[in-house]
Structure 1
């Protein structure tokens, strides 16, 4: 007669639980990268973490999904900032002089030789319409005053005085009724990098044709 000993049941102490699966570090890193708005980095780490949790049975799958979500949000934010920077650069880039038709522009895009119509009223000038100088126009940029790029904001009155000092007309122009208009940077435009003042020549009522720069201007 064979002896078949009874195998004892394994004993577990009260409160014992199987050890938890390890937490995947890649998933954790994806959440951290997402919180830091690194965008694509968070997405890449999250994808790796998600694959590792599924392959090895480790914890962190939900964290990986959170990291991927944050990465998508960060990527969209980065794209929006990039587009904004490009649009700002395009809106402040100097216009070419060979304008063949009236077009809207920002005052900071004007350079010596540009003609505008109409001439904006007093106050801060932002939007202008650039017009070919061989067509009737109200004023023309005849000189520029450039502040030092490293200069600190001198105050509006001081900025206006500096631009006015560089804004001169010839005696013949003054005798013909031409007057000068000076546009200086404002404190707000200075903060955006504007360091150029403009001097425009105009006459009451507008109606100029031609250019002051080459002597082809015809007064009304």
Structure 2
């Protein structure tokens, strides 16, 4: 008699599962949803993971995983084809929009639309609404004899490999453009009071696109200005150029006035007084060389006499030990050189005799009450306080 193994009823479930249907693989469902609704490439990954796990564990969801894989592949292919097409369509739309905008502006702005990179020294141009501070304004070049908003004084390219930073860019552009304007319009008295300095410089974004140009301009958008403001060394006589260079050195010395109050920085003011004495000494020596010229001898002689009086006062200011002593010497230096003397001298040289607004009403051209003194780093001149910066 043989012994039979005992029968178990009901039969035990397959190993690894509890009673009930097999569980659904989560990656299978996720592959279909992700591939269909949000990120197809991730749906492909989920589908492959689901098929591998189902093959090992016997879970449900193989059909879902297959559908997820198909949907994800089809959707990924569609996106790959659609993105370039959409990009080209947007570019075309932008171009058409820009063309329509330019066409609309042409109706309101005089001149010929040109790319800003085409601007060169001496070119005059207009912008829509005269807004030289607008971001990326459209430029319409026009003859300088016609009414225009701005005139180019310099157009140079930077050599740096990397973007120097916004602050350094502003400082570089401002310094370069003041120098360019001084060389382009040497007779600062001839500049109208409404003329101001502007510049167009690369932004961080445009730098990454290869933009390296700094374009400096004299802007006159507030008035209907006609004619070029250019009076550089090529348009003046050698005598006029030499005189203006000497006067510019005096202006630059004047601009080194410290920012602080005299009582808070007396030693700095003593040093500035020495600088002023040296600059006026250079002017005096220059005027001594023209005393033999009949048309210049009179005004130059008077100016030299007053220069020596002013220099003596500046020398006393250099040695001043108290605030009151310095201020007293400064006042005497100011009174020694009334603006009318420079006006007469400029007239003798054939230069502008229109006293600028920044000198009108002052007792001298280097006083502390409305004269030509200004913050460090700038020379007196129309529009220098403050300068304007383009976007």
TM-score normalised by L of structure 1: 0.46
Larger Rg: 2
Higher helix share: 2
